[in-house]
Chain A
Amino acid sequence: MSTNTPSSSQPAVGTARVKRGMAEQLKGGVIMDVVNAEQAKIAEDAGAVAVMALERVPADIRKDGGVARMSDPNMIEEIIDAVSIPVMAKSRIGHFVEAQVLQALGVDYIDESEVLTPADEVNHSDKWAFTTPFVCGATNLGEALRRIAEGAAMIRSKGEAGTGNVVEAVRHLRQIKGEIAKLRGYDNNELYAAAKELRAPYELVAEVAELGKLPVVLFSAGGVATPADAALMRQLGAEGVFVGSGIFKSGDPAKRAAAIVKATTFYDDPKIIADASRNLGEAMVGINCDTLPETERYANRGW
Chain B
Amino acid sequence: MSSSSTPVIGVLALQGDVREHLVALAEADALARPVRRPEELAEIDALVIPGGESTTMSKLALLFGVMEPLRARVAAGMPVYGTCAGMIMLADKILDGRDDQETVGGIDMVVRRNAFGRQNESFEQGVAFTGLEGGDVHGVFIRAPWVESVGAGVEILASLHEGTEAEHIVAVRQGNLLATSFHPELTGDHRVHAFFVEMVRAVSHGG
Contact = CB atoms under 8 A, between A and B. Distances in A.
Interface of A: 1-15, 17-18, 21-22, 24-29, 44, 47-50, 84-86, 103, 106-109, 131-133, 261-262, 265-266
Contacts of A108: 118-120, 143
A262 B56 contact: no
Contacts of A44: 55, 98
Contact of A25 (B16, B64, B124, B134): B16
Nearest to B116: A11
20 contacts: A2-B133, A3-B136, A5-B189, A7-B126, A7-B135, A15-B124, A17-B124, A22-B142, A24-B186, A25-B143, A27-B52, A28-B14, A28-B18, A29-B56, A84-B97, A85-B55, A86-B118, A103-B120, A106-B118, A262-B63
B45 interface: no
B104 interface: no
Contacts, number: 148
Interface residues of B, number: 50
Interface of B: 13-20, 36, 51-53, 55-56, 59-60, 63-64, 84-85, 96-98, 113-114, 118-126, 133-138, 140-143, 183, 186-189, 191
Given A12-B125, A25-B17, A108-B119, A5 B52 contact: no
A5 B114 CA distance: 25
A101 B29 CA distance: 47
Give the most central of B96, B120, B183: most A CB within 10 Å: B120
B134 A84 contact: no
Q: Which 3 A-B pairs have the closest CB atoms?
A: A7-B126, A1-B135, A108-B119
